[in-house]
Amino acid sequence: MKKITITILAFILSVLLYAQETGYYNGTAGKEGDALKSALNDIISGHTPYSYFFAKQIFKQSDADPDNPNNVILVYTGRSQDNEDYGNGGDQINREHVWAKSHGSFTDVPPMYGDVHNLKPCDASVNQDKSNFDFAEGGTQHPEATGCYYTDETWEPRDEVKGDIARIIFYMATRYEGENGELDLEVVDEINTFPNPTHGKLSDLLTWNLQDPPDDFERNRNNVIYSYQQNRNPFVDNPDFAELIWGGAQPNPIAMEDFEVNPATLHAGEPVEISVSITSSQASIEEAAIYWGNDYDNLENEIFMQSNGDEFTVEIPAQPEDTYVYYNIEATDGNNQKTSVTYRYYVPKSFNGTITRIYDIQGQQDVSPYEGEVVSTTGIVTGNFGTNYFIQDGAGEWNGLFIYDAGRNPSIGDSIVITGEIDEYFDKTEMKEIQDYYFISGNHQLPTPVTITTGDAGEALESTLVRVEDATCTDANYQANYFMWAVNDGSGELLIHNTSVFEYEPVEGESYNITGPLNYDFDEWKIELRFESDVTSGDDNTPPEVIEVEPILSTNIKVLFSEDVETSTAEDVSNYSISNDVVIESASQHAFIKSQVNLTVSEMQNGDFEISVENVEDMAGNIMEPQNIQFTWASIHEMIGPEGVNVFPNPTCEHLNISFYARKGGRVKLELLNTNALVVISKLADISQGGNQIVFDLNGLPSGLYYLKVSGRDASLKMKVVKQ
CA distance 263 to 272: 7
Exposure class string for 699-708: b at 16+ Cβ within 10 A, else e: eebeeeebeb
The helix (H) or strand (E) run that includes residue 434 is strand 428-441
Q: Determine the average pLDDT of the residues in 540-565.
A: 85
CA distance 259 to 265: 16
Res 191 pLDDT > 80: yes
Question: What does DSSP assign to residue 214?
Answer: -
Q: Determine the average pLDDT of the residues in 246-255.
A: 96
Res 641 pLDDT > 80: no
Determine the residue type at 483. Answer: F
| Alpha helices for 566-635 (secondary structure H) | 567-570
Res 635 pLDDT > 80: no
Strand ranges inside 201-248, DSSP E:
none
Residue 638 has a pLDDT of: 60
In the chain, domain spans: 33-246, 252-347, 357-441, 450-537, 546-633, 640-723
CA distance 495 to 474: 10
Two domains, one topology: 252-347 and 546-633:
yes
**Facing residues of 638 across strands?**
none
Contact criterion met (CB below 8 Å) for 316 and 274: yes
Highest mean pLDDT (candidates 511-515, 669-673, 710-714):
511-515
Residue 2 — very low, low, confident or very high, per pLDDT cuts 50/70/90?
A: very low
Q: Determine the average pLDDT of the residues in 498-515.
A: 90
Q: What is the pLDDT of residues 465-489, one digit of tens each?
A: 999 999 999 999 998 999 999 999 9
Residue 714 has a pLDDT of: 53
CA angle 215, 220, 225 (to 5 degrees): 130
Contact criterion met (CB below 8 Å) for 290 and 316: yes
Residue 676 has a pLDDT of: 65
Q: Cis peptide leading into 271, omega within 30 of 0?
A: no
Question: What does DSSP assign to residue 226?
Answer: H
The CATH T-level fold of domain 252-347 is Immunoglobulin-like (2.60.40)
Q: Determine the average pLDDT of the residues in 372-401.
A: 95
The helix (H) or strand (E) run that includes residue 375 is strand 374-384
Q: What is the pLDDT of residues 6-21, one digit of tens each?
A: 333 333 333 333 346 8
**Facing residues of 261 across strands?**
274
Highest mean pLDDT (candidates 1-5, 194-198, 659-663):
194-198
- The mean of the pLDDT values for the chain is 90
Res 414 pLDDT > 70: yes
The CATH T-level fold of domain 357-441 is OB fold (Dihydrolipoamide Acetyltransferase, E2P) (2.40.50)
Residue 198 has a pLDDT of: 96
Res 458 pLDDT > 90: yes
Res 697 pLDDT > 90: no
* SS3 state at 604: coil
Q: What is the pLDDT of residues 133-182, one digit of tens each?
A: 999 999 999 999 999 999 989 999 999 999 999 999 999 999 999 988 88
Contact criterion met (CB below 8 Å) for 126 and 109: no
Residue 6 has a pLDDT of: 38
CA distance 426 to 414: 28
Greatest Cα pair distance in the chain: 84
Residue 80 has a pLDDT of: 97
Residue 219 — very low, low, confident or very high, per pLDDT cuts 50/70/90?
A: very high
Residue 320 — very low, low, confident or very high, per pLDDT cuts 50/70/90?
A: very high
The answer to whether domain 640-723 has CATH 2.60.40.3080 is: yes
The CATH T-level fold of domain 450-537 is OB fold (Dihydrolipoamide Acetyltransferase, E2P) (2.40.50)
CA distance 659 to 662: 10
Res 264 pLDDT > 90: no
Residues 546-633, CATH architecture: Sandwich (2.60)
Contact criterion met (CB below 8 Å) for 115 and 122: no
Residue 576 has a pLDDT of: 97
**Facing residues of 683 across strands?**
670
Residue 5 has a pLDDT of: 36
